[in-house]
Amino acid sequence: MRSCLAGFLYFEPIMDRIYLDNAATTALDPLVLDAMMPYLTTRFGNPSSIYSYGRESRMGIENARKTVAKLLQAHPAEIFFTSGGTESSNTAITASVRDLGCKHIISSKIEHHATLHTVNYLYNKGEATLSFVNLLPNGHIDITHLEELLKTSTEKSLVTLMHANNEIGNMIDLHTIGSICKKYNAIFHSDTVQTVGHFPFNLKNTPVDFITGSGHKFHGPKGVGILYINENIKIQPFINGGSQERNMRAGTENLYGIVGFAKALEIASENYLVDKEKIQGLKFYMKEALETNIVGTYFNGDPNGNSLYAVLSASFPKTEKSEMLLFNLDINNICASGGSACTSGAEQGSHVIKALQSDSDSVTVRFSFSKYNTKSEIDQVVKKLKDMV
């Protein structure tokens, strides 16, 4: 047992419920809190101030930038700190249209709303045309159709496709898609919010122009993220004001968030192989348990194929009981979701599941796992689920 600066004694976050919604957000790692604590207390200087308090804060930010760049194998000048994945994707997509001359956007119907609402906004304003790439029955991108769209485009294109889908886990191959984009001189943005902190990036060798990351998806703090902008790309400032983030994003920096982001990424990278093996084990353990115990269960996407190891999207037969599934899970202190956290308050259902199966007669639950979950938790959840479906 160790003590952290906050004065508590613990190894892991204390949880009084079973939390299987780690694609929505993750618990803060106590070691991340440790790293952030000085910047929440004694090192409070404004990073733009020239005296020692300011210089210490500036050092915290620039060290964090170097750490993040090193771990993603990028150059520090390619890393911009933002408020999270939403801001990063909004910026990349809007800048591609307004600053880089992309008048045709190619995306997919299963992107996160941070992407979908941005591309629809630009389309509705008449700033770009919009095409959606076809999906294969297993939810993967139809690469032949993507190439067809690029080949026949009369305008410079932006391709915006997510690395791992937050609802079904399907992954794209960044190298394959990036190389096709290069062939047709298109800009390539990938929403990598579900993979930064869960995947070993080497951005020096990856043909992408923009990627995004969000601290709260890998046991870091909420409200902080990154936008990677390839060094060959030049865009206009995305928030005007002071000279922070090398004149690109004005406003006093989220100092402790940035420090926490870097620490969380460092921990995730150090433990990547061990954590991946454990979490993937939990995913397949649950998949098998559901298959064995609940007749009629099926899984969305391509869980055994190119899929994020932390996400399992399960559909159960629709019955009077199962229609209340999410509610019943909640009252049994089990946290899981029907889809993206951003839409869980709305009654429209998941746009991802709708895009995959238009006339589904099932109830879908996304289970997503972290290093803090255990097999015993999964046993308890499956046991409860048997009574709820």
Q: Per the structure block, which two tokens stand in for 175?
A: 């190298």
Q: Per the structure block, which two tokens stand in for 87?
A: 């801001």
Q: Chain centroid to CA 53: how far?
A: 34
Given the DSSP bridges, would you call strands 210-214 and 225-229 parallel, antiparallel or unpaired? antiparallel
Among 18, 33, 158, 162, contact with ligand PLP (rule: CB under 6 A): 162
**For residues 142 and 181, what is the distance between their CA atoms, to the nearest angstrom?**
14
Q: Per the structure block, which two tokens stand in for 46?
A: 């404004």
Residue 218's Cβ-count burial label (10 Å; 0-12, 13-18, 19+) is buried
Contact letters for ligand PLP, residues 205-224 (x by CB under 6 A): ---------x----------
Q: Per the structure block, which two tokens stand in for 47?
A: 């990073």
Q: Residue 227 interacts with ligand PLP (CB under 6 A)?
A: no
335 is catalytic: no
Among 69, 92, 105, 114, contact with ligand PLP (rule: CB under 6 A): 114
Q: How many residues bind ligand PLP (CB under 6 A)?
A: 14
We find the least distance from the C-beta atom of residue 313 to ligand PLP, in angstroms, to be 13
Going by the DSSP 8-state scheme, the letter that residue 210 receives in this structure is: E
Stretch that binds ligand PLP, among 6-14, 54-62, 190-198, 379-387 (CB under 6 A): 190-198
Among 108, 157, 166, 297, contact with ligand PLP (rule: CB under 6 A): 166
Contact letters for ligand PLP, residues 233-272 (x by CB under 6 A): ----------------------------------------
Residue 320's Cβ-count burial label (10 Å; 0-12, 13-18, 19+) is exposed
We find the least distance from the C-beta atom of residue 226 to ligand PLP, in angstroms, to be 10
Q: Which 88-107 positions form the footprint of ligand PLP (CB under 6 A)?
A: none
Q: Which is nearer to ligand PLP, 36 or 150 (CB)?
A: 36
Stretch that binds ligand PLP, among 79-87, 120-128, 269-277, 315-323 (CB under 6 A): 79-87
Stretch that binds ligand PLP, among 10-18, 30-38, 189-197, 307-315 (CB under 6 A): 189-197
Among 26, 107, 194, 337, contact with ligand PLP (rule: CB under 6 A): 194
**What's the chain's length in residues?**
389
Count of C-beta atoms within a 10 Å radius of residue 205: 8
Positive or negative, the Cα torsion across 314, 317, 323, 324?
negative
Q: Which 317-346 positions form the footprint of ligand PLP (CB under 6 A)?
A: 341-342
**For residues 104 and 127, what is the distance between their CA atoms, to the nearest angstrom?**
9
Among 60, 85, 178, 220, contact with ligand PLP (rule: CB under 6 A): 85
Q: Which is nearer to ligand PLP, 153 or 194 (CB)?
A: 194
Among 30, 225, 257, 303, contact with ligand PLP (rule: CB under 6 A): 225
Sheet of 129-132, strands arranged across? 79-82, 225-229, 210-214, 187-190, 157-160, 104-107, 129-132
Residue whose C-alpha is closest to residue 371's, from 248, 218, 252: 218
Q: Chain centroid to CA 128: how far?
A: 25
**For residues 144 and 363, what is the distance between their CA atoms, to the nearest angstrom?**
32
Stretch that binds ligand PLP, among 55-63, 83-91, 121-129, 350-358 (CB under 6 A): 83-91
Residue in the structure block whose two tokens are 């255990």: 374
Q: Which 346-385 positions form the footprint of ligand PLP (CB under 6 A)?
A: none
**For residues 134 and 109, what is the distance between their CA atoms, to the nearest angstrom?**
9
Binding residues for ligand PLP, per CB under 6 A?
Answer: 84-86, 112, 114, 162, 166, 191, 193-194, 214, 225, 341-342
Active site residues: 342
